Amino acid sequence: MQQIQPLTQHLVLIGGGHSHAIALKQLGMKPIPGLRITLISDVAQTPYSGMLPGYVAGLYDFDACHIDLRPLCQFAGAALVRDRAVGLDLEANRVLLANQSPVAFDLLSLDLGSTPAVLDLPGAAELTIPVKPISRFLSQWDQLVERVRQQPQPLRLAVVGGGAGGVELTLAIHARLTRLYTELHQPSRYLELHLLHRGRRLVPERAAGLGRDLEQILSDQGVRVHLDQNVSKILAGAANSDSEGWIEKKICCESGMSLEVDQIFWVTQAAATSWLAESGLATDERGFVQVNDCLQSVSHPQVLAAGDVATMVQHPRPKAGVFAVRQGKPLVENLRRAISGQALQPFTPQKEFLILLGTGNGTAFASRGGLSLPALPLLWHWKDRIDRNFMAQFNDLKPMAERAGANGNGANGPDAQMPCAGCGSKVGSSVLQQALTRIQPAARPDLLIGLAAADDAAVLQVPAGQVMVQTVDYFRALISDPFLFGQIAANHCLSDLFAMGAEPQSALAIVSLPYAAPAQQAELLYQLLSGAELVLSQAGAALVGGHTTLGHELAFGLTCNGLADPAQLWRKGGMQPHQALILTKPLGTGTLFAAEMQLKAQGRWIEAAIDSMRRSNQAAVACLRQHGATACTDVTGFGLLGHLLEMLGASGLDASLDLSTLPLIDGAETALKQGIFSSLHPQNARQSSQISNLAAVSQHPVYPILFDPQTSGGLLAALPLDAAPDCLDALKGAGYDQSAIIGQSYLPSEVNPTPVSRDYCCVKGS
């Protein structure tokens, strides 16, 4: 029989920077048995700083210069928590998050990057676009480019900061916007670009010759370079009459010089986020975490740090991406050593480093120490190859066999204990106590005995004139973040009540936790139930109890109870002839998560699927009822066609679906075209025999989506044709942006009222 090595330690990584990306790749290649890994990041695609100027210049697309953290985490067997860290509790070893429950850790690693300093300068925080965090800057840059494309009017820009980063950004901005104005047949004089620097020469950290060469090339391109200018404040002006919507900004310098511009990019000295020092970590004067030669905090040995966020006390270096990349391997080596209880290994960074500084036009400068080379195409090709090779290691990920300790599944090992079955597989009482004392379920007057009591069962009242509606669902985790999985599963389970028109009252949890040490079990259970309880409380339901057991992987479900007026219940058989069919949420979770398992899904596709699955169907119920819905079901495991057939069979009707109107989650159609289907898809596809015009519609690009099983899918409702447009408007106003009218019902004896086309799928209910 298989032996299991339980999870015993939890490594938490905050930030998806270069060092952590390298660490995740290495941990995926060689997993640590018994280790649970969680990455906390507020972005799912982390930009590679070396290719940022090339992206600004239009030489790279988004995917080429971003590390997609979702497939990388899956490769490493790590959970991805999409949230923003806001603090640390270093006594309890917990990470405090902006939007969900704290995450406990045994070992913590920080790779947060940095933010521009001096944003406390009057007006700077409100009126400038800081280059860090990079993801936020890129979003604002994309908006600016699109605005110029839509409204090609004169534009005045300024870059504050004449170091290597500021100069390279200025060159990239000039190259991109000059090309764009040319494409739009507008004169190059539409762009007025300034570069301000407090020093007497550009790139003062490098050889003087490089600064002179850069100043010359900028001057040749028409960029106005202002040296020895220290910005003192930024003032807001009126809207620019020449550029509709732009708010004029005035840059004021200590010298008395001032500039009126439309946008300001801030590329000054780096600083650290304030909560690092506030948490008690030893930091330097700029707030960066002080680490020793082993990249370990000098004040808290359970914390390591790398990249811009860290300052090596014995070997201080500039905040440059090259050091974050070089620290990746030493970091992961010391993480391994810390987990196994071995002595950490010192690391000495190089003193000199090469920079290749692109011009945005297919050439690059080179500088190392006191030497520099002028802009040459060969140097750009060299830089491009280095950057692409670095990114290739994160893009060329192949699914691997089971990895020890990966994703909470445990691993075999000589010291592993054979787990018990029966009641011996239940989670221990101390684990339950640790988790449940941190959960505060919603209170209800009809809950007589609930989670707070130690009785054998919950006791609830059913008000007079109402009936109890019950449903149960349970499945293995499809998301690595237990808090997020709890939210999705709760929404999925509650949807059966919403489809019946019932109001949620209470729920019982069914949990299977992976084999792990008690502390790890308690933390997983707390995170899972916290996510579920948040959804339940928002729906007005109370978590009243449940059952836990141990297994090979995380799985979760709920028995949900609801209350309803028996006269107001929706039934699948309530569909009537000549009614519109409305779907409240898009389709595609089955194929997308199948693609993720094969490491073929873009992270943003999975993010879109998660957003859809986290959206409750509760508000949709009010819209549907207000507009006269007579029948409803939720679209889940049997796919759209399977659940529609249940309604048609119960109502004795046929229906037509307009495939061109089916709402799809971003990436779903691409995954289907690649032949990626859920394992349940073949069984669902057997229902194709109920399609009367199968030969025609089976060639439609989205035809396979009819059989795609959905997790926390939308509601499919039937309502009067004349009420459907207003209902759709109400749904969109309630946040169901992709809701759609997808078809209509008719009697089997009638001629199909829809046009004969491959877009229209004719479904027989009998």
Helix and strand numbers (H, E) in the chain are 22, 37
Q: Which residue has the higher pLDDT, 429 or 147?
A: 147
- The pLDDT of residue 465 is 87
Q: What is the mean pLDDT of residues 228-234?
A: 92
In the chain, the N- to C-terminal Cα span, in Å, equals 48
- The pLDDT of residue 294 is 95
The answer to whether residues 209 and 372 touch, using CB atoms and an 8 Å cutoff, is: yes
Model confidence band, residue 419 (pLDDT cutoffs 50, 70, 90): low
Token representation of residue 378: 């060969």
Decide: helix, strand or coil at residue 233. Answer: strand
Report the C-alpha gap between 741 and 65 in whole angstroms.
39
- The pLDDT of residue 224 is 96
- The pLDDT of residue 1 is 39
Model confidence band, residue 262 (pLDDT cutoffs 50, 70, 90): very high
Nearest C-alpha neighbor of 176 from the set 56, 12, 344, 311:
56
Indicate whether 351 pLDDT > 90. no
Nearest C-alpha neighbor of 662 from the set 698, 716, 612:
716
Indicate whether 688 pLDDT > 80. yes
- The pLDDT of residue 403 is 39
| pLDDT, tens only, 264-296 | 999 877 778 889 999 999 999 888 999 999 999
Angle between helices 603-614 and 69-76 (to 10 degrees): 90
The answer to whether residues 39 and 13 touch, using CB atoms and an 8 Å cutoff, is: yes
| pLDDT, tens only, 44-100 | 998 888 899 999 999 999 999 999 999 999 999 999 999 999 999 999 999 999 999
| pLDDT, tens only, 186-195 | 887 889 999 9
- The pLDDT of residue 188 is 74
Report the C-alpha gap between 698 and 158 in whole angstroms.
55
Model confidence band, residue 103 (pLDDT cutoffs 50, 70, 90): very high
Q: What proportion of the chain, given as a percentage, has pLDDT over 90?
A: 65
Indicate whether 5 pLDDT > 80. no
For residue 715, CA distances in Å to 453, 615, 628 come to 36, 12, 15
Mean pLDDT, the chain, integer = 88
Task: Identify whether 623 is a catalytic site residue.
Answer: no
Report the C-alpha gap between 698 and 695 in whole angstroms.
6
CB within 8 Å of 53: residues ≥ 6 apart: 168, 169, 171, 172, 358, 360
**β-strand partners of 405:** none
Token representation of residue 751: 């001629």
Nearest C-alpha neighbor of 242 from the set 310, 192, 286, 197:
192
Nearest C-alpha neighbor of 27 from the set 9, 50, 6, 51:
9
The answer to whether residues 84 and 99 touch, using CB atoms and an 8 Å cutoff, is: yes
Q: C-alpha dihedral over 563, 567, 569, 572, to 10 degrees?
A: 150
- The pLDDT of residue 663 is 97
The pair phi, psi for residue 374, each rounded to 5°, is: -70, 175
- The pLDDT of residue 411 is 42
Model confidence band, residue 370 (pLDDT cutoffs 50, 70, 90): confident
Report the C-alpha gap between 266 and 283 in whole angstroms.
24
Model confidence band, residue 321 (pLDDT cutoffs 50, 70, 90): low
Q: What DSSP line would sit under 161-204, residue for residue? A: --SHHHHHHHHHHHHHHHHHHHHTT--GGGEEEEEE-SSSSSST
- The pLDDT of residue 279 is 94
Helices (H), 297-357: 321-326, 328-340
Looking at residue 248, the DSSP 8-state letter turns out to be E
Token representation of residue 520: 């790890």
- The pLDDT of residue 272 is 84
Report the C-alpha gap between 283 and 297 in whole angstroms.
9
Nearest C-alpha neighbor of 479 from the set 542, 431, 421, 527:
527
Model confidence band, residue 15 (pLDDT cutoffs 50, 70, 90): very high
Report the C-alpha gap between 523 and 503 in whole angstroms.
31
Q: Which of the residues 294, 423, 493, 623 is marked catalytic? A: 423
- The pLDDT of residue 405 is 41
- The pLDDT of residue 450 is 67
- The pLDDT of residue 503 is 94
Q: How many CA atoms lie within 13 A of 425 on its CB side?
A: 16
- The pLDDT of residue 752 is 67
Model confidence band, residue 755 (pLDDT cutoffs 50, 70, 90): low
Report the C-alpha gap between 305 and 314 in whole angstroms.
15
Q: What DSSP line would sit under 72-135, residue for residue? A: HHHHHTEEEEES-EEEEETTTTEEEESSS--EE-SEEEE----EES-TTSTTHHHH-EES-SHH
Provide the residue count of the chain: 766
Report the C-alpha gap between 515 and 583 in whole angstroms.
40
Choice among 170-184, 206-220, 383-397, 422-436 with the minimum mean pLDDT = 422-436
Indicate whether 406 pLDDT > 50. no
Decide: helix, strand or coil at residue 303. Answer: strand
Amino acid (one-letter) located at 95: V
Q: What is the mean pLDDT of residues 648-668?
A: 95
Report the C-alpha gap between 134 and 668 in whole angstroms.
28
Model confidence band, residue 204 (pLDDT cutoffs 50, 70, 90): confident
- In order of start, what are the domains of the chain with their CATH numbers? 9-113+273-353+371-395 (3.50.50.60), 124-270 (3.50.50.60), 422-567 (3.30.1330.10), 571-763 (3.90.650.10)
Report the C-alpha gap between 517 and 34 in whole angstroms.
9
Nearest C-alpha neighbor of 511 from the set 521, 500, 503, 497:
521
Choice among 42-46, 241-245, 557-561, 679-683 with the minimum mean pLDDT = 241-245
Q: What is the mean pLDDT of residues 28-50?
A: 92
H/E stretch holding 217 reads helix 208-220
Report the C-alpha gap between 612 and 589 in whole angstroms.
9
- The pLDDT of residue 417 is 52
Q: What is the mean pLDDT of residues 155-174?
A: 93
- The pLDDT of residue 84 is 93
Choice among 52-61, 172-181, 462-471 with the minimum mean pLDDT = 462-471
